[in-house]
């Protein structure tokens, strides 16, 4: 048996697609400058059912804890069983989120965009908003960034992190006018200067893509 080794030059060049900006958020997990939308799976039926089950189990466990304090007794087998069930539900919820983020980040990177731009989100600061804290925590935005960083490194895609204070949501992606009175409840961006109207998150994603283009041309 004879084996032969040879160096072969690969001629199949990977086609690089257009650059993209990715706006991460609460209403949707991510909106991309090319129009792609990755949903917030917390709103899906499966995740809602898991969250309801967790709350029911936690309420039952809470009653067990109260009885333990009053009677000064040891942890019962029933409570141990409840704690095991709660851990199981938490693991299922975490796995659903991790899988969803993996699918999203892989899809973005494998298209080989010229570059990807995301914001340097102050997640810890955002969590101080008590009305949005749970939604922000559930979307695991820090995990999205972590996965994008190592996958971009694997696939040779440049990842640009926009400055934390870059007003991507307030700028008009058409003329650059800054809308200082934009509220969080305003889901549609309307420019008072040029009249452009666009979905708020899509406008932010386009601004992020344009930010990347300026960074590379500077």
Is residue 208 within 8 Å of 118, Cβ to Cβ?
Answer: yes
Place of tokens 């200082």: 180
Which DSSP letter does residue 156 get?
T
pLDDT computed for residue 9 by the predictor: 43
Is residue 173 within 8 Å of 80, Cβ to Cβ?
Answer: no
Give the other-Cβ count within 10 Å of 216's Cβ: 12
Residues 6+ apart with CB under 8 A from 63: none
Domain edges within the chain: 20-217
pLDDT computed for residue 125 by the predictor: 63
66-78 pLDDT tens trace: 888 888 778 788 8
Residues in the chain where the model's pLDDT stays below 50: 1-13
CA distances from 95 to 79, 91, 100, 192 (A): 24, 6, 8, 44
CA distance 52 to 35: 32
By annotation, the residues acting in catalysis are 23, 119, 201
pLDDT computed for residue 25 by the predictor: 87
């Amino acid at each position: 048996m004879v084996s032969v080794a040879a160096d072969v030059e690969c001629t199949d060049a990977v086609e690089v697609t257009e650059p993209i900006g990715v706006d991460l958020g609460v209403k949707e997990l991510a909106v991309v400058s090319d129009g792609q939308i990755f949903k917030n799976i917390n709103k899906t039926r499966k995740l809602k059912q898991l969250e309801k089950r967790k709350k029911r189990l936690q309420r039952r466990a809470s009653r067990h804890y109260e009885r333990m304090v009053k009677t000064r007794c040891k942890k019962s087998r029933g409570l141990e069983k409840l704690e095991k069930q709660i851990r199981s539900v938490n693991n299922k919820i975490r796995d659903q989120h991790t899988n969803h983020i993996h699918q999203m980040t892989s899809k973005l990177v494998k298209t080989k965009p010229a570059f990807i731009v995301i914001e340097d989100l102050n997640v810890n600061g955002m969590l101080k908003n008590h009305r949005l804290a749970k939604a922000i925590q559930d979307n695991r935005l820090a995990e999205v960034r972590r996965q994008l960083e190592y996958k971009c490194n694997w696939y040779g895609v440049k990842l640009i992190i926009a400055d934390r204070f870059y007003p991507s949501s307030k700028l008009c992606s058409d003329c650059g006018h800054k809308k200082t009175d934009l509220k969080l409840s305003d889901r549609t961006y309307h420019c008072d200067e040029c009249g452009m109207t666009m979905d708020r998150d899509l406008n932010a994603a386009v601004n992020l893509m344009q930010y990347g283009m300026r960074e590379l041309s500077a």
